[in-house]
């Protein structure tokens, strides 16, 4: 376990990343650091493979394995305390497989961001690739959104989509969507860090002159 020492420059936005598994989105966020800096990686699983990305890149990390705490509530409380101590500008959930408590969501609302492997509001929850295939879906993709108190809810920041081919499997769809995620998530965190995308009273605001990469979709203006 490493201490969470802050090495972020003053001109960069501080991002704390929460993971539970292999950390492929964490790796893409690390590779794209410029206007933001990942100040720490936190995980609820001591064996999360994604920790290696933090180690290899000299990023402070901390584990909060369930076995170390008397209850799930105590585990979550420890994670939330650590994040508060970090005082991040953005908290990025990157394959973080715990439901975030409403109190913490409200405290960090507008700074708490998640990526989900579907075109929300379609297919919230788990097994998205399997469910898309089972329902004969023709389009699939990824969504980055600000987190709200319901699971996989909250205003959409941006989406990227792919077509579902007749010969697609769960594995091939997952690979397609992961490629989208690894481009979409860093772009969204960058735009939030620059102030080009903002959370305002339950809605997402975007600058008029924001440059949108090919294949990305912003939510329609309300």
Burial class (CB within 10 angstroms; exposed 0-12, middle 13-18, buried 19+) of 105: middle
pLDDT in 10s for each residue of the chain, 222 residues: 444 555 555 679 999 999 999 999 999 999 999 999 999 999 999 999 999 999 999 999 999 999 999 999 999 999 999 999 999 999 999 999 999 999 999 999 999 999 999 999 999 999 999 999 999 999 999 999 999 998 888 999 999 999 999 999 999 999 999 999 999 999 999 999 999 999 999 999 999 889 999 999 998 776
Signed CA dihedral, 32, 35, 39, 43: sign only:
negative
Listed in sequence order, the residues at least 6 apart from 67 whose beta carbon sits closer than 8 Å to its beta carbon are: 46
Model pLDDT, residue 222: 60
Q: How far is CA 133 from CA 140, 170, 222, in A?
A: 10, 8, 31
Model pLDDT, residue 66: 96
Distance CA 111, CA 147 (A): 8
Distance CA 105, CA 40 (A): 19
Let me know: does 217 contact 188? Beta carbons within 8 Å.
no
Q: Which domains does the chain have, with CATH numbers?
A: 13-98 (3.40.50.170), 115-222 (3.40.50.170)
Let me know: does 197 contact 188? Beta carbons within 8 Å.
yes
3-state secondary structure of 154: coil
Let me know: does 46 contact 54? Beta carbons within 8 Å.
no
Listed in sequence order, the residues at least 6 apart from 170 whose beta carbon sits closer than 8 Å to its beta carbon are: 129, 130, 133
Residues involved in catalysis: 116
Rounded to the nearest 10 degrees, the angle between the axes of helix 170-194 and helix 24-31 is 40
């Amino acid at each position: 376990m490493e201490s969470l020492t802050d090495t972020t420059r003053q001109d960069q936005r501080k991002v704390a990343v929460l993971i539970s598994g292999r950390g492929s989105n964490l790796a893409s966020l690390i590779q794209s650091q410029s206007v933001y800096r990942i100040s720490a990686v936190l995980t609820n699983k001591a064996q999360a493979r994604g920790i290696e990305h933090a180690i290899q890149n000299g990023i402070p990390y901390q584990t909060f394995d369930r076995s170390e705490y008397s209850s799930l509530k105590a585990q979550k409380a420890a994670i939330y305390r650590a994040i508060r101590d970090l005082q991040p500008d953005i908290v990025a959930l990157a394959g973080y497989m715990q439901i975030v408590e409403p109190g913490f969501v409200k405290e960090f609302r507008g700074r708490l961001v998640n990526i989900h492997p579907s075109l929300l509001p379609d297919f919230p929850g788990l097994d998205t690739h399997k469910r898309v295939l089972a329902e004969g879906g023709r389009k699939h993709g990824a969504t980055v959104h600000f987190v709200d108190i319901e699971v996989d809810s909250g205003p959409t920041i941006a989406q990227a989509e792919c077509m579902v081919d007749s010969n697609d499997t769960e594995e091939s769809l997952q690979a397609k969507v992961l490629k989208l995620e690894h481009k979409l998530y860093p772009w969204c965190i960058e735009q939030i860090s620059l102030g080009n995308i903002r959370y305002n009273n339950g809605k997402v605001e975007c600058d008029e002159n924001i440059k949108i990469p090919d294949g990305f979709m912003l939510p329609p203006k309300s």
